[in-house]
């Protein structure tokens, strides 16, 4: 039986982490014979030209589009509906248009929760709970968030599946060759990539570099990526300009570099490969998953991170260095510990790569296909109209 799933998600060319995640996932799934073809119902704020997987584009804030999309799903020969859920990508208060949408769908639903809040508002709780109740399976990317789904949202354990955030595998040149390619020969490279927004805590990382460069003047911190389009739409480049002004005030022009572009996957992987340390100084304590951290783990990096939910779990057992939130001194100490001790850095890289291999997309895709089969079987047993 060749499965036919449809994914409801943002999707490239929309610049969004979940969009990239979904494209990578469907690319990996379609490499298996179990799936005939993946369809996508995209969510957008602007008009985009999509590839031929996209069968309908929901204008995020237009409620009638959700009704049309649900009717289309019901009409087509679809086996399972996979919703990539993040509060901010759906219309309504906290994205509550998703609730009447799923109630209209007559096919079995799987929901992947990209954010699981320990202390949700009443509205956020209601949305996640109703989505989970409507879904045959819910997917989270860490054990910590599985526990939150059970304890805070009262979701039964047998409904929850843990599936790692996928990461690409690429054959790349070695670290020193890539440093030469990017004009970083002889430098100790610390990097952070992703769409830039105030929640990333990059100001604390820059302040930390003021301390790091005193001991390692050759150290350079790369801030890789554009400003998040939603932030740019509302506030322009206010946050990036604040960061750039900090760099000037602290005279760090030689130690902090901005690469202001939407990076290709190859560029991301090359920058990760050449980095000596990967840094996530994020402020949000409840962040359930981080695609950028997942990529760094998949690349076998020595990582310094604040202890948000996903980082705590993924960097446990000596797979990284956890530092305090909003604390430049703590971040600097974490970076310096790894720069001073090459053996420690190599040991962390070895441990990180062990779990990173489990996260390669082909492994994640196989796990998802197994869940699809489970859901199709459950659907047959309960006699849901499909």
For the chain, domain boundaries? 5-166+360-382, 175-358
Q: Are 302 and 352 in contact (CB under 8 A)?
A: yes
Which of 179, 183, 210, 185 lies closest to 335 in space, CA to CA? 210
Q: How far is CA 155 from CA 107, 129, 151, 316, 353, in A?
A: 20, 8, 8, 26, 32
| H-run or E-run covering 39 | strand 39-44
Comparing 89-103, 193-207, 240-254, 279-293, the range with the smallest average pLDDT is 279-293
Q: Are 169 and 360 in contact (CB under 8 A)?
A: yes
pLDDT tens string 322-348: 999 999 999 999 999 999 999 999 999
- Its pTM stands at 0.85
Half-sphere exposure of 31 (CA within 13 A, CB side): 12
Cβ neighbours of residue 252 under 8 Å, at least 6 residues apart?
A: 206, 209, 210, 213, 246
For 270-288, what is the mean pLDDT?
A: 94
CATH match for 5-166+360-382 among 3.30.2000.20, 3.40.50.2300, 3.40.50.2000, 3.30.70.2740: 3.40.50.2000
pLDDT for res 47: 87
> With bands split at pLDDT 50, 70 and 90, how would you rate the model's confidence at 383?
low
> Span 175-358: which CATH code?
3.40.50.2000
Could you tell me which residues are beta bridge partners of residue 258? 223
Query: Does this chain's domain 5-166+360-382 share its CATH topology with 175-358?
Result: yes
> With bands split at pLDDT 50, 70 and 90, how would you rate the model's confidence at 230?
confident
Is residue 385 pLDDT above 70, yes or no? no
pLDDT tens string 131-167: 999 999 999 998 989 999 999 999 999 999 999 999 9
Q: How far apart are CA 209 and CA 257, in angstroms?
A: 11
| H-run or E-run covering 380 | helix 361-382
């Amino acid at each position: 039986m060749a499965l036919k799933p449809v994914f409801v998600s943002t999707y490239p060319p929309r610049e969004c982490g979940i969009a990239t995640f979904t494209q990578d996932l469907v690319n990996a799934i379609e490499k298996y014979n179990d799936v005939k073809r993946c369809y996508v119902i995209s969510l957008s704020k602007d008009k985009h030209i999509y590839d031929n997987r996209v069968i309908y584009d929901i204008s995020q804030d237009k409620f009638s589009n959700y009704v049309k999309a649900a009717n289309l799903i019901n009409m087509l020969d679809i086996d399972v509906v996979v919703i990539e859920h993040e509060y901010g990508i759906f219309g309504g208060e906290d994205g509550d248009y998703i609730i009447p949408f799923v109630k209209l769908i007559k096919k079995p639903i799987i929901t992947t929760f990209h954010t699981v809040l320990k202390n949700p508002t009443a509205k956020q709780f209601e949305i996640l709970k109703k989505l989970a109740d409507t879904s045959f399976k819910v997917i989270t990317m860490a054990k910590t968030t599985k526990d939150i789904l059970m304890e805070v949202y009262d979701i039964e354990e047998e409904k929850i599946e843990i599936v790692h955030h996928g990461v690409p595998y690429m054959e790349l040149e070695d670290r020193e060759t890539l440093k030469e390619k990017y004009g970083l020969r002889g430098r100790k490279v610390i990097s952070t990539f992703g769409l830039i927004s105030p929640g990333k805590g990059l100001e604390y990382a820059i302040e930390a570099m003021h301390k790091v460069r005193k001991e390692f003047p050759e150290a350079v911190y790369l801030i890789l990526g554009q400003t998040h389009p939603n932030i740019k739409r509302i506030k322009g480049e206010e946050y990036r300009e604040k960061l750039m002004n900090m760099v000037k005030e602290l005279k760090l022009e030689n130690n902090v570099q901005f690469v202001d572009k939407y990076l290709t996957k190859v560029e991301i992987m090359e920058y990760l490969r050449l980095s000596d340390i990967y840094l996530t100084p994020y402020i949000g304590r409840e962040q359930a998953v981080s695609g950028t951290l997942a990529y760094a783990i998949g690349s076998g990096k020595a990582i310094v991170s604040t202890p948000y939910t996903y980082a705590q779990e993924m960097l446990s057992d000596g797979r990284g260095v956890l530092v305090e939130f909003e604390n430049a001194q703590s971040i600097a100490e974490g970076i310096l510990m790894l720069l001073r001790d090459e053996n420690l850095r190599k040991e962390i890289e070895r441990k990180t790569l062990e779990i990173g291999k489990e996260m390669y997309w082909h492994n994640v895709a196989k796990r998802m296909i197994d869940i699809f089969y489970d859901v199709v079987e459950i659907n047959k047993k309960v006699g849901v109209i499909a």
